[in-house]
Structure 1
Amino acid sequence: MVVSLKSIKLPTFGVPLALPTVPADIYEKRVSQLIERSESDWVVVYADREHHANMAFLTGFEPRFEEALLVLGPNRERILVVGNESQSYAPLAGLPGITIVLNQSMSLLGQDRTVHPSLVDTLKQVGIKKGSKVGIAGWKYLTAPEWDGALPSFFVSAYLIDALVRVVGDRALLSDVTDVLMGPQDGLRCVVDVHQIAINEWGASRSSDAVWRVLEGAAEGETEFAIAARMGYAGEVLTAHMMMASSSAGNPVVGLRSPTSRIVGYGDGVTTAVSYWGGLSSRAGLLSRGDDGFLEIAKAYFEGLVAWYQTTDIGVEGGIINDAVEAALARNNLKPALNPGHLVGYDEWVSTPIRPGSTDRIVSGMPFQVDIIPTPVPGGQALNCEDAVVIADEDLRDLLRHTYPDVAKRIDDRRVFMRDSLGVDLKTSILPLSNSPLALPPFWLATDQLLTLA
């Protein structure tokens, strides 16, 4: 594999203006599948401002400021339990047949508690009773090495568990059904439909354009704030805070931090990331026009990225992808800091079938973040090239082309760019959603210089 740096113009692929919407019958299908697979009388889905992705996927509603519960019952009950402020926002939910119920314990401290303060009373009001079996969906779930208790533990508020135990009478009646939504092999949010693909492409195309504007506008002598401001934020829903960081030689570039008033100098390591619903985009490199030593590290990293694209396909085990990326990076004494790739959606990281030794197989409909963070990189330097893709078989591709032809056209154009300009001929199952697919300029003062196999 010969990687070179060439002058390549990144095409303008365009972005969709209107955010695609999930049809009501698809929301209904999602909640029906959750109820069926939970094997419970009732399902309670927990959400708060940070952990809202499951609820957004099921209803189109996510709480602002507060906590909220989605309660699904045996007689087609579709109930949103919300606090004071979400009462006016919850009617925007796309799930049909929803009943909105106020529980003021979901509200912020100091707000009115004089109408419906008791969660125990609210849960009884909606129909949960003594002896009911309740499946609980939190924001993640525990695996065997993490918990060996006789009864399950949950990633939800303790208040919810305490209230449910009071209502049903026995903690043993509570089960964790989070894996029905987030299990990396067949979770409902891990294998998505064409509508979700279109939503993901809307976010991924916009986040990647925002990152590219940051790269193209970066200049020495400016603050990180000034550089980050070029992202051109238009109010898209964020799945992570905007990241922008820099550092001089010998000091670490802390990729997770937000921008500061630090003045960025020539040769500094720089990194940025923007994440909207459906896809995060990230780039990291040097604020310079060239550096031979760093270029060699960047080429080695690019080989790891190419290994991901060349190995990933429907039916491939996640452990095989992990091993291929690790082997490619190891040839140049690098390794991935975390899993080389994960599932993405209304949150930046859902789960991942890509783990050492994983036998989870890649299936059609999986929405991926190609997220390979190389380590070790010398202090004051940074490398990253992170973008969203989706895996799709022929039937799903045909349905996407029929339902969202503009989305399919942009995907086709991105594939052509990757093949003709970057020398990476994708398998038909890999659909790039980013507007800068695999486009890695190691030097931010020369963003027309991209790594390529062509």
Structure 2
Amino acid sequence: MKKLYSRMDKENLDAVVVYADREHYSNFRYLAAFEPRFEEGLFVIHRNGANFVLLGNECYGLFHECKVPVSPLLCQILSLPNQPMDRFTSMKEMFEKAGLENGMRIGVVGWKLFTGNMDTEHMFDVPAYIIKALTEITGEIDVVNATGIFINPRDGIRTINEVHAIAQLEYGAAQASGRIADMLEGLEPGKTEIELGAYLNPMGKVMSCHPYLSAGQNRFRGLISVTDYQVRKGDAICASMGLEGGLTCRAGYVAEDEKDLDDGLQDYMEKLAKPYFAAAATWYEMIGPGVRGDEIFDAIQHIIPKETYGWVLNPGHLIGTEEWLSSPVYPESDVEFKSGMLVQMDIIPGMDGYSGPNCEDGICIADEELQRGLESEYPDVWRRMQERKAYMKEVLGINLKPEVFPMSDLAGWFNPFLLNRKNAFVVC
């Protein structure tokens, strides 16, 4: 809250309205320590210290979970379609009950950063009925987009994690990588996507994105759900799972070696898998405090040029309770990585006819002070990070900087032929 107040002072905001729904809740929960489920929610924070949380029928009782003093308001408009409106109050009146009034400058926090040549100050990604009510109170000019306060990769307050948040998020990242590891151990021809997808069970934990598993021709259909397709030797396969804190993805072939691949794919190792691993290993060894986003981008572009290898997304991005918070990795980016950031190694090549390789995982950047905090407060978390780092160096040959620690048990591990479980790429 202190970080938010400081930014509100800097940007001359009297109040901030933070929006949340079932999927886009992370900025809300960062302040409230809970999130609305099923329906929408709003958190109104005043610079004078007053807080109001607006919740619908099913989530109203969650205000007790809030870790800061709040005044709860039942806002039935935020409920699901056709639910009771017996205590109906208009959105404008709800905001007035939450202390918003004419003359205030109000920041609206959604979940998306608008970049490019556009009026980003007055573009919003929250429902129109909410913006309409706010502008009726204080006028269009005084309602502005403030999402960047939270997630801008340069100075967003959520891009830097304290020791307690890192411990919580490491747990999710470790669990997600464990589910993928279990699936890889259970992978064999004849099993269906549904059977393999069952390994990606969140066990009641909050997922940061939809679990994904596809094989064969389904691999080329995009982000679809599992089917009853039976996996065959030689199939392409991809699986990913994200829990709050990190996503692990692995993509390769259901094969022992190149001989199991279809005609025309026998050069997969040399043409695509090796260059990809070289790029991934370089990413891991480069990342660290003070490194600029464009340095990472240029290094990946040099090893596997996007014009040849077909990657289109940012080769690396920030993570948190959501799978993609924002990214400092883009051409000419002078945004520097800092201690406290959680960063995803996310390079996704794609060449016609081939299944793109993937060994996506996340890391934590921690300076000496943050390292001491983890070691003191969460010794088990610290031990796991140290063991993963040692494995990457001693077994995989990937040398992380002193401030970089893996969040995933599989970080750096990539085997393009997933039936040959004894093999994986190493740096020689």
Could you say which TM-score interval applies, normalised by the shorter chain? over 0.9
Matched, 1:408 2:382: yes
Report Cα offsets for 1:417-447 as digits up to 9, x if no partner.
0011001111111110001111112122122
Matched, 1:153 2:123: yes
Q: How does 1:180-329 map to 2 (within 5 A)?
A: 180-248=149-217, 253-291=220-258, 293-296=267-270, 297-329=272-304
Q: Tell me, what secondary structure is at the counterpart of 1:313?
A: coil
Tell me the residue number matched to 2:262: none
Q: Tell me, what secondary structure is at the counterpart of 1:284?
A: strand
Which residue identity does 1:172 align to in structure 2? Answer: I
Matched, 1:80 2:53: yes
Which residue identity does 1:341 align to in structure 2? Answer: G
User: CA shift at 1:337, angstroms?
Assistant: 2.8
Report Cα offsets for 1:212-264 as digits up to 9, x if no partner.
1111111111210011112343111011111001124xx85345222111111
Report how many aligned residue pairs link the two structures.
420
Matched, 1:445 2:419: yes
Tell me the residue number matched to 1:436: 410
Q: Tell me, what secondary structure is at the counterpart of 1:124?
A: helix
Closer, same or farther: CA 324–422 of 1 in aligned 2, 3 Å: same
Report Cα offsets for 1:308-359 as digits up to 9, x if no partner.
0122221111001101012112499425331100001111111111101111
Report Cα offsets for 1:179-214 as digits up to 9, x if no partner.
110111110111111112112101100000011111
Which residue identity does 2:160 align to in structure 1? Answer: V
Q: How does 1:2-401 map to 2 (within 5 A)?
A: 28-93=1-66, 95-145=67-117, 147-148=118-119, 152-168=122-138, 170-248=139-217, 253-291=220-258, 293-296=267-270, 297-330=272-305, 333-376=308-351, 378-379=353-354, 381-401=355-375
Q: Tell me, what secondary structure is at the counterpart of 1:79?
A: strand
Tell me the residue number matched to 1:421: 395
Closer, same or farther: CA 309–165 of 1 in aligned 2, 3 Å: same
CA distance in 1, matches of 2:203, 2:164: 22
Q: Which runs of 4+ in 1 moved over 6 A?
A: none
Greater Cα offset, 125-134 or 440-449: 440-449
Identity of aligned residues (%): 34
Structure 2 spans left out of the alignment, 5+ residues: 259-265
Closer, same or farther: CA 377–202 of 1 in aligned 2, 3 Å: farther
CA distance in 2, matches of 1:35, 1:60: 20
CA distance in 1, matches of 2:191, 2:287: 40
Which residue identity does 1:220 align to in structure 2? Answer: P
When the two structures are superposed, what TM-score results if normalisation uses the length of structure 1? Answer: 0.88
Report Cα offsets for 1:111-157 as digits up to 9, x if no partner.
11121331111111121111111111111132241x248x6111111
Closer, same or farther: CA 332–216 of 1 in aligned 2, 3 Å: farther
* Higher normalized contact order (CA 8 Å, seq sep 6+, divided by chain length): 1
| Paired residues of 2:4 and 2:157 also in contact (CA < 8 A) | no
CA distance in 1, matches of 2:144, 2:87: 30
CA distance in 1, matches of 2:337, 2:39: 36
Which residue identity does 1:44 align to in structure 2? Answer: V
Structure 1 spans left out of the alignment, 5+ residues: 1-27
Which residue identity does 1:189 align to in structure 2? Answer: R
Measured on the aligned residues, the alpha-carbon RMSD in Å equals 1.9
